[in-house]
Structure 1
Amino acid sequence: MTGARILRDIMRSGKLWKWHLLLLVWVLLQQYPTGSLASEGADGQTERPQAFPLIVQSCFPCHGPQGQSRSPAIPSLAGLPRDYLLKVLRSFSHGGRFGTVMGRLVQGYDEGDFIVMADYFSQQSFTIPRQTTDWRLVDRGRVLHRRYCRDCHGDPETPSEAGVPHLHGGWMDYLRWTLWDYLVGVNQGDDEMADQLSLLMRRHGTKGVEALLHYYANGEP
């Protein structure tokens, strides 16, 4: 039975249980070559793959090995603040955040699992993926970021507030969908974020949002 078949059967069922998810993970992880979870030693020889907590491996098929996503539609988890990861997982669990499958998948985990995941992914290194951007939008987005977003989210030269993620290097497609979810109220952010997004939209419209996205995708200060 393929991983896609198992996922489809789980999504059709009335409930999701942790063991169903772990079975899905086991099947999907077989699709990754061993080298994707291995590292190269100083002598050029491939070392044995690092052992990961099983509950953390359940995130790898979608969010990538060690939380480094390879899909523009799925965010990387590596390096995100621990408190932010916990907040997002709890929001999915309670219906305060929208996701195509996460709202249902997260029901198979408990608070202890959330803590293990947040601890693990917050300690992983994040590598900025290469994306195609328009330099004119990048320049405009840099100005808008400094005006509306940097005080909380920081940038490569400025630390973010505690528990607030950096946005630089995020996948453009994912950030676009997520920002619109916040703008229309599907996702629930704090009051300050809602105020800043609303102000940005009133003054600069959709072109301003797109400029921000190109700036973040560029990944540079």
Structure 2
Amino acid sequence: MLLAGCALSPVSAQAEGVRSAAMLSHTCAGCHGTLGASAGEVMPTIAGMDKGYLVEVLEDYKDDVRPSTIMGRIMRGYSDQEIAAIASFFAAQPWVSTERPIDGELADQGELIHQQRCETCHSEGGRGQDARSPRLAGQWGPYIEYALETCRARGASCKKRQGAERVEALDDAEIKALAHYYESQK
């Protein structure tokens, strides 16, 4: 009887290679923060993001659909079930908005652009999210600039992403204004 109890203990499960979602997420901590609240302005916060969105993004990295320097290599090391567990872990964490000074005038310009071009997918001032649209409100402005510039530069290869045509039409000043607006939203 004692042997049967030991075989089911958490320690033996770890020894057999079963990894918890929290354990799997540790790989992400160096860039995205321990619980997904990034401390670096060019790394996105992923805590509190929609699980479906996170799964899609991580699978896109794994399948080389999204370009990356490191994410593709990391994701290829995980099974689809492990990717879903990682996404669930981060989706369950609370969102943490950035705390940086914002250029109010640029943020006001960005709000107008958001209302005209982005609100249908990124509702509630960028707080709304689903499996196709990430939360933008409170995200790092420099990361948003990078993501929008990358999508715009990729052109046709960015078409898989919802709103790609709208992003392609943005100029540098509009991207900067949108980044300030979203970063100013909590």
Shorter-chain TM-score range:
0.7 to 0.9
Change (3 A) 1:101 1:118: same
- Using structure 2 for the length normalisation, give the TM-score: 0.81
What do residues 183-209 of structure 1 show as CA deviations (whole Å, max 9, x unaligned)?
Answer: 11176353641221133x2xxx21111
The alpha-carbon deviation at position 56 of structure 1 amounts to 1.6
Structure 2: distance between partners of 1:126 and 1:158: 10
CA distance in 2 between counterparts of 1:192 and 1:87 reads 13
For the residues of structure 2 that align with 1:130 and 1:106, how far apart are their CA atoms? 30
- CA offset at residue 218 of structure 1? 0.9
Contact 1:155/1:167, CA 8 A, preserved across alignment: no
Q: For 1:25-174, list aligned pairs within 5 A.
A: 53-156=22-125, 159-174=128-143
Does the alignment pair 1:195 with 2:165? yes
**Consecutive unaligned residues in structure 1, runs of 5 or more:** 1-50
| TM-score (normalizing by structure 1) | 0.69
SS at match of 2:35: helix
Alignment RMSD (CA, Å): 2.1
Relative contact order (C-alpha < 8 Å, sep 6+): which is higher? Answer: 2
What is the rounded CA distance, in whole Å, between the counterparts of 2:103 and 2:162 in structure 1?
A: 29
In the alignment, what sits opposite 2:179? 213
For residues 161 and 105 of structure 1, do their structure 2 counterparts lie closer, same or farther at Cα, with a shift above 3 Å needed? closer
Q: Which amino acid aligns with 1:178?
A: A
> Would you say the 8 A contact 2:119–2:126 is kept in 1?
no
Work out whether residues 182 and 194 of structure 1, in 8 Å CA contact, stay in contact via their aligned partners in 2: yes
> SS in structure 2 opposite 1:155?
helix
Paired residue secondary structure (1:95) = coil
Alpha carbons 1:153, 1:161 under 8 Å: kept? no
Q: How many positions carry a matched residue from both structures?
A: 166
Deviation of 1:106 after TM superposition, in Å, equals 1.5
| 1:71 shift after superposition | 0.8
Name structure 2 gaps, 5 residues minimum.
1-19
For the pair 1:175 / 2:144, whether they are aligned, the reply is yes
Q: Is the 8 A contact 2:159 2:165 kept in 1?
A: no
Equivalent residue of 1:152, what SS? coil
Which aligned runs of 4 or more in structure 1 are off by greater than 3 angstroms?
156-163, 189-192
